[in-house]
Amino acid sequence: MKFNTKTIHGGQKPEATTGAVVSPIFQTSTFAQFNAGESQAYNYSRGANPTRTALEKSLASLENGTHGFAFSSGLAAIDCVLRTLKPGDEIIAGNDLYGGTYRLFTQLFEKYGLKFIYVNMNSKEALLNAISEKTTLVWLETPTNPLLKIVDIKAISKAVKGVNSAILIGIDNTFATPYLQQPLTLGADIVMHSATKYLGGHSDLVMGALVVKNDKLAEELHFNQFAAGAIAGPMDSFLALRGIKTLHIRMQRHCENAIKVAVFLKNHPKVGAVYFPGLEDHPNYKIAKKQMKSFGGVVSFSLKDESKAATFKFLENIKLFTLAESLGGVESMVNHSATMSHASMPKEERLKIGIADSLIRLSVGIEAIEDVLADLESALNL
């Protein structure tokens, strides 16, 4: 099936008992056992739930994988991956990560004996130099949050596997969504999503997801999820399934609007730097054009006046864009990375990778573009 068809039909069938076209919400914690000692498909909802199973089959289909897993959050999904490792293992990560991921790495798993090495993933030399006999996982985002750097997944996978085929490649695909790129097809082993964002698409759930195509890895991830219990509930699974059905048409509009916003900002006299991979002067434009179907719905920028006062004035003046955590909903949102998404990252570390106090991240929604641009114009000129 083509992708647009997969969002509606991928991994989905009418419900077996009633023929319901939409997967019902199986709001139950447990299931009756019909015969003592005989295993059933569903016993207890921590292990599996029919609504969650329907979602996980959809996720696997979208990412061209064989096994999908739905979690209580994106960070819970990453946590599950890290639980496959052991003390002394080394993880090479991109040096431009979502602040919550960085916090999980540095404030939790470093205490448990994992070692994290941060490199510029656009430097093949830096990546290969960081690999040691203890390297077990390479973890990266593309596009990155919030600087929208693009990493060549195919090139990195080939380079890393050429050194040691056992090293796992994990990709945070949240910003791109499977509509724009499928990392497993490009050589990755694990795809992660904060399904809270574009997959759900309506700012009404918190959820994470993993997709893999290796049976042994899938078995280990399932055990970790079952044992630790970080599962998505049936109601949230239903909402995510509903969101996925319109993912392709929402992403089309997000992308269409975002490129227009990026061009508008680039040409505005009060705007300084603009970060968007769809601009031809973006350092990773060629990689993005090769690897992605389009360039996504997030645009980051800073004002020429980089003072905190000017930045906060813009954030206070903008009206259509909601000042809020998160992104990927149908409504436009604005985020101040230094005090919101990356507040847990020490300032000196933020500044090293270019996340200044003046950086503003826009999640461009699917509203009429004329209204979106008028709101930005108004906020910039007040």
Torsions phi, psi of 136, nearest 5?
A: -120, -20
* Cα 346 to Cα 109: distance, rounded to the nearest angstrom: 17
Amino acid (one-letter) located at 382: L
Structure tokens at 39: 């295993």
Per the residue annotation, which of 46, 158, 242, 253 is the catalytic one?
Answer: 46
Give the largest CA-CA distance in the chain.
74
DSSP state string for 56-86: HHHHHHHTT-SEEEEESSHHHHHHHHHTTS-
Question: Token pair for residue 189?
Answer: 């082993």
Contact 188, 153 (CB under 8 A): yes
Do residues 208 and 328 make contact, with C-beta atoms less than 8 angstroms apart? no
Contact indicator for 96, 105 with CB cutoff of 8 Å: no
Tell whether the torsion through CA atoms of 244, 199, 49 and 215 is positive or negative. Answer: positive
Helix H or strand E segment including 223: helix 215-228
List the structure tokens of 194.
Answer: 């904060």
Which residue of the set 6, 52, 57, 98 is catalytic?
Answer: 98
The yes-or-no answer on residue 172 being catalytic is yes
Backbone angles phi and psi of 68, in degrees to 5 = -115, 150
For residue 6, the surrounding DSSP H or E stretch is helix 3-9
Q: Contact at 8 Å (CB) between 71 and 61?
A: no
Spatial separation of the C-alpha atoms in residues 303 and 290, rounded to whole Å: 30
Task: Kindly name the residue from 96, 152, 172, 375 that is annotated as catalytic.
Answer: 172
Q: Which one is catalytic: 52, 57, 197, 361?
A: 197
* Cα 116 versus chain centre, distance: 20
Q: Is residue 98 among the annotated active site residues? A: yes
Burial (CB count <10 Å: 0-12, 13-18, 19+), residue 76: buried
Here the tokens at position 223 are 């055990």
CA–CA distances in Å: residue 359 to residues 27, 271, 337, 365: 42, 11, 7, 19
* Catalytic positions: 46, 98, 172, 197
